[in-house]
Structures are given as C-alpha cells and as structure tokens.
Amino acid sequence: MHPRSAPQGGTLMPNVSIVEQTMRQARRSVALTLAGAAVLTALLLAERLWSSHTIAAAADRHAMAHRVAADLRVTEQQLLQAAQAAGLTGERSWIDRYDRLVTEHNGVIEHASLLAPQAVTQRYRAKTEAAAAEIARMRASALDALNSGDHVAAKGLFDGERYGRNAQLLREANEELTRASQRATYEELVVLRQRSLYATAGVLLLALGMGFGLWRRLSRGLDHSRGTLREAEVRIQRLASSDLLTGLDNRAGLHDAMHARMARASAATAGTDTLAVLMVDLDRFKPVNDRNGHMVGDLVLKEVARRLSLCLRQSDLRARYGGDEFVVVVDEREGPGSAEKTAARIIERLAEPMSFGDLTVAIGASVGIARFPADAVSSDELLRKADSALYRAKQAGRGTVCLYDPRQDEVLSERHNLEQAIREGIAAGQFVPYYQPIVGLDRRNVISLELLCRWRHPERGLLTPDKFIAVAEASGLIGPLTFALLRAACQDMGRLPPTWRISFNVAPQQIQNEELVPQLLSIVREAGVPPERLDVELTETALVNDTARARQVILGLKKAGMTVTLDDFGTGYSSLAYLAEMTFDKIKIDRSFVHTLTERPESAKIVDAIIGLSRSLGVETVAEGVETELQAAMLHRLGCRLAQGYLFGRPVPVKELSDRVALARNTMAPLPAAHGDVGSRII
C-alpha cells in the first residue's frame, strides 16, 4: 500500500483553527454586548440616582417653603402680640421678647428669600425696606417712651395707624415672598420631575439604540461565525469525500456519487441508461515507488489523476480507490462499447513516460469493467465485480482490459478463499519442508538438498505446490511462505550432515523486497546455520523484471556467503546477456531439455552447449528432472557433474530422509520414481 504524503498546495487546517476563530468572534461579540449592557446599566443607575437625589432635594426645598410660610405667619402673630402687650403693660420683658421675635422673624424672612426667586427677593426688599425702617424707628421710640414711663405714648405708637399700615405692608410682602418661594420650589420640583422623565426616556432611547446596535453587531458576528462554520462544514465534507493527494473523490465520495448516478439511471425512461465502472490498477508502480521513494510515488499518482481527467468527460466520475487503484464511472449513452474505448484511452495515456525534472518513469495500467444494471445493482457489488474483471486483466498481462464474466467470478471467489487459507496456513505452520537430493553423477553421493514445499491442509490432505504456489505469488504471500519454510529447514539442518547444503528458490516478486537479504541472514543466524550452507536459486523471470535490482540481490547474497544458482536456464529471453552481466555459482539445465535428451538430438545439442558454456565460465551445471539411467549416463558423458530427479529420490520430509539415507557414509541409493510432483522449485 502506498503511503500518502501530506497534500501539496495547501494545508488541511489553517494556522488558527476554524473553531478557535469562531470562538474568538463569538467571544468578541459577547464581550461587546456585555460591555454595552454594563454601560447602559451604569447610565440608568446614574440617571436614577441623579434624578432621585435632585427630586428629593427639590421636594425638601418645597416642604421647607411651606414650613417657612407657616413660621413667618406665626412669628408675625407673636410680634403683634408682643407689641400690644408691651404697649399695655409697659413691661421690659415684652420689649425684650419683641426684640427676640424680630430677630427670629428676620431669619425666617431671610430663609424665605433664599427659597424665592432672586427677582422676587429683590422686589421684596425694595418694597419692605422703608416700612421696616419705619417700624424699627417706631420700636425705638416706643422703647424710649417705656423707659421714661410714658406708657400711653408707647401704646400709641404700637396702636397707631402708621404702625398698622407699615405692619400690614410687611405682612402682605411676607405673604407674597412665601407664596413666591412655594411656587418657585414647586415649579422646580415639577421641572426636575419632567427632566427626570425626559432623562429616563433619553436613557431608554439610548439603551434601545445601543441595544439595537449591539444586537446588530452580535448578529453580524454570529452570522459571520455561522458562515465560517458552514464554510468549514462544506470544506470538511469536501475533504471527507476527497483524496487529499490527487484531489479526486475518495471511497466515501465515490460511493455517494455512484448511488446518485445509479438512482438517476434507474429512474430514466424505461431504465435503459447504462453505467460502466472501470477499475484501473497501475502496472509497475510499486517498483517506481520503492526505488525512487514516496515523494516520486506521490508525483506519479498526481500525474495519473491529471491524465485520467484528460481521458474523460466532465460528467464522468473519477476517484482514487486506494493505493495505486483508481475508479472511473462513465455513462454509456453512446453505446456499450464506449467503456472499452475509454479504457483503451486510459491505458494508452498512462503508458506514456512521465518526467519529473531529470527523472523519467514509465508505468502502465490494467482495467476491469463491470456494468450497471447488467452485472450488479449495488455500488459495492459493482465495484467487487469490476475488481474481479481487473484481476483477470492483471493475470492476462499488463495493459489489458477485461469485462466482468460471471463464469470467472466463481474462480476468483475460490482464489480469494485459497488466499485466505494460505495466510492462515502460514500462521498455523501447515507448510512443511520437503527435500530432494542433488547428487554427484560420478559416485551418486548426495552433495546437497533442494528445499521444496508441501501443504498439510487440514481438509484436503497433503498438497503439492502446483495447487497453491501461483496464488501465493500473485497475492504477495510468497515472501512470508518462503521465510517460514526456510526457518523450518534451518531447524532440520541440525539432523543432516554438516557437508550438505540446502538450495531454495526465491520468487521473482521477492527480488523487489529491499529487506530480502537481511531477512535471510536473520533467519540463518537465529538458527545458528552458516550462510555458506545455503544456495539461492533465481529464475530468469526474476532477472527480466528488474535486472538492476537482481544484480544488487546477487551481490548481497554472495557477500553474505551464500551461493547463487541460475534456475531454468535456457527458457528465458536473453540468458547469455545475464551470464555476461552477473556472476552465478551454478546453472540449472531445465527439465524440458532433460526429458527429451534421449529422444531429440536438438535437446542433446542444447544441453551440450549449456555444459560447455558453463565449463568455459567456470560454473557448475545441475541437471534437473532426471528420471532414467539413460538420461543420467548421457549427462555424465556430456560433462554434467550434478543432477537431481526421481531417479535419485523423490521429495521427502526430513524424518523419512534420515531413515533412508546412510548418513554416516554420506551416500544415497536410488529411490523409486514418484509421479505427480512439480520438479525442483522450492515452492
């Protein structure tokens, strides 16, 4: 599975998260609202405090004006009584009382003057000044008369018309002054109350205005926050349904879009609309990704997405299904063949080399097609059947297109079941090592053993490699199977003579594993087996797929102390080129030449040429598939030194091998031929 790198040209989350931005906006709006509410509350409280204080003070002044008016009337009455008593009795005490009352009366008048408007006070003083002075003179004259004993004269002064007229003027002026003070304080109280009402109304209007402004501000802030959250929701939904690397739909987005397309197609007139699902798998992507790194792999996937868009209509769906698999959904309104044409365009476009700076890579694609509603009516089933068709396309070779075939679906299901059984069998230790001897043709002594595989299936019994090897290789389980088998073989090597070596086959798929050599060394070191006792067999297919990588593996194996054998020599495309480029320790003559060695002169000539070539290169030859003494004799005569086959022994487990082989003499007698095996491959 190709790991995705971080998306280019944008980040998934901003520097400040959307939630944090929204919370900040909400906090600012709420803070502003609370501040406004606090200001309004303070204004209302201040207005009420000011109003209550001023109105209370005005009410106190108004009440004081009433008290002053009453006090003034009382002091006037008391003054009149004191003056009359002084005139009648001539006693000094009444004169003194009169003087005290005059002082008190003047104080009340002064208080009333403070409460009355200034103009009224000035008018009062101007009106009463002469009368007050006249009464003061008359009081002084009356006092002098009393002091001299002239009571009649004193009484005449207080009872005279002149005193009465001045006193009446003063009383009227005092009454006017008190009424003016009462009226002034009342009007002040009314004005203050009105002003308080106006202030309250103004504050309320201000509160309404500020409240409306704050509400608008809060609403705008909340609307902005809501818009941000909606935008974030849309973005999250888009991200949730999009592949971050390529920008195409991901699986979730693909399923949603397929449901909508299938629903529209089903609702179309007469239900005749047809959709085609194209499952596209990249060829040779894993080697590119492993060799050049995931950064280049990401660039390749982006370029694939771009080229897919160039091959499709705007209305066609395209999605990255996972790893290096893509899905395209096209509407076949133009006819059933339009899907195949689209697939051909995709294969052609993706086969073109891709350049990234100084690096140029080449991949390809295989396509499987399933149709709605002919093949399936649900998205999951449609994708599964497109994947089934893709598997057959991959099996047929690179750059091919296959349509879903229901007859092949059962085969694929069986393959999946077998793949799962292999995986479980590896974990359960059901795959066991079998060994076939490789002997020297001179003495027929055992030189080494080839490691083979058998599956002790819990239901089907003992299975040979032809029943499961192809599935293990295609599913990527060949590596774990090889390592498990080698681990068991290393345990068996303690029961074998120390001079015997074990040869085993490495599948072409394992060559791409950069950890192949370290893993092999880890297994043998863990078991305490010298690496020199191991011989690794590589087929020409492994060399064809990736020559440079195969060369690195061979050098690594030889550096670790293992020997390397070229298996199935003569069946590939350019065997001599590989012999020139790489150093092998042995060359295996393929069984197809050995079987016809005594029947076809051409086979004998080919075998003779291979042995001669090997001798000139200083490389041992091993003939496999030897079943008759005549074949063994001809090989020996041609110069072949080593051979294996049913003539010398069939593959057996280590216990049976130990029972049948004279280990002390390091020899082996020929065993009866066993038919139905698959030759000398490890697995």
Q: Would the pLDDT of 90 be above 70?
A: no
**Can you tell me the distance from the alpha carbon of 192 to that of 280, in angstroms, rounded to the nearest whole number?**
89
Question: Which pLDDT score is estimated for 186?
Answer: 80
**Can you tell me the distance from the alpha carbon of 250 to that of 243, in angstroms, rounded to the nearest whole number?**
5
Per CATH, the number for 436-452+499-660 is 3.20.20.450
Domain range 251-404, CATH class: alpha beta
User: 515 and 480 in contact (C-beta within 8 Å)?
Assistant: no
Listed by start position, the domains of the chain span 18-224, 251-404, 436-452+499-660
**Can you tell me the distance from the alpha carbon of 464 to that of 182, in angstroms, rounded to the nearest whole number?**
128
Q: Would the pLDDT of 510 be above 50?
A: yes
**Can you tell me the distance from the alpha carbon of 631 to that of 216, in angstroms, rounded to the nearest whole number?**
102
Q: Would the pLDDT of 675 be above 70?
A: no
Question: Which pLDDT score is estimated for 440?
Answer: 95
Question: Which pLDDT score is estimated for 636?
Answer: 94
Q: Tell me whether the omega of the peptide bond preceding residue 406 falls within 30 degrees of 0, making it cis.
A: no
User: What are 359-418's pLDDT values in tens digits?
Assistant: 999 999 999 999 998 898 999 999 999 998 998 898 888 899 999 988 877 777 788 889
Q: Would the pLDDT of 660 be above 60?
A: no
User: What are 585-628's pLDDT values in tens digits?
Assistant: 999 998 989 999 988 889 899 999 999 988 988 899 999 999 99
Q: For the chain, how long is the longest CA-to-CA vector?
A: 191
Q: Would the pLDDT of 459 be above 80?
A: yes
Question: Which pLDDT score is estimated for 439?
Answer: 95
Most confident of 219-223, 272-276, 479-483: 479-483
Question: Which pLDDT score is estimated for 19?
Answer: 63
Q: What is the DSSP string of 327-351?
A: EEEEE-TT-TTHHHHHHHHHHHHHT
Average pLDDT of the residues in 278-286? 92
Q: Would the pLDDT of 667 be above 70?
A: no
At 230, the amino acid letter reads R
Q: Would the pLDDT of 450 be above 80?
A: yes
Q: What residue has token string 């600012």?
A: 28
Question: Which pLDDT score is estimated for 674?
Answer: 38
What does the mean pLDDT of the chain come to?
81
Question: Which pLDDT score is estimated for 556?
Answer: 93
Q: Would the pLDDT of 50 be above 90?
A: no
- Same CATH topology for 251-404 and 436-452+499-660: the answer is no
Question: Which pLDDT score is estimated for 193?
Answer: 78
